[in-house]
């Protein structure tokens, strides 16, 4: 059975964001608007998503 992954896309700028949120987005590997990354679906990733949910778009993908 394949592991679940999450495709995360940065849709809003981090310019006016709280520094903690900006650091979270950058630690996820997102640098530019429109860029996407695929991360594993685990508790740590879900926590990061919850913190910056207003800046990103999340989709589930099967890999």
Whether the CA torsion 29, 35, 40, 44 is positive or negative: it is positive
Residue 61 — pLDDT band, cuts 50, 70, 90? very high
pLDDT by residue (tens digit) across 29-58? Answer: 999 999 999 999 999 999 999 999 999 999
**What is the predicted pLDDT for the residue at 2?**
61
Would the pLDDT of 8 be above 80? yes
Structure tokens at 16: 């006016």
Distance CA 36, CA 63 (A): 15
Q: What is the pTM of this model?
A: 0.90
Question: Do the bridges between strand 36-40 and strand 4-10 make them parallel or antiparallel, or are there none, so unpaired?
Answer: antiparallel
User: Contact at 8 Å (CB) between 6 and 57?
Assistant: no
User: Contact at 8 Å (CB) between 30 and 37?
Assistant: yes
**What is the predicted pLDDT for the residue at 36?**
97
Q: Which CATH class is domain 4-62?
A: alpha beta
pLDDT by residue (tens digit) across 14-34? Answer: 999 999 999 999 999 999 999
């Amino acid at each position: 059975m394949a592991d679940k992954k999450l495709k995360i896309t940065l849709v809003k700028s981090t310019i006016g964001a709280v520094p903690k949120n900006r650091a979270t987005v950058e630690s996820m590997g997102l640098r530019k608007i429109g860029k996407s990354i695929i991360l594993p679906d685990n508790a740590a990733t879900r926590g990061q998503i919850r913190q910056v949910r207003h800046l990103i778009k999340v989709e589930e993908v099967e890999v």
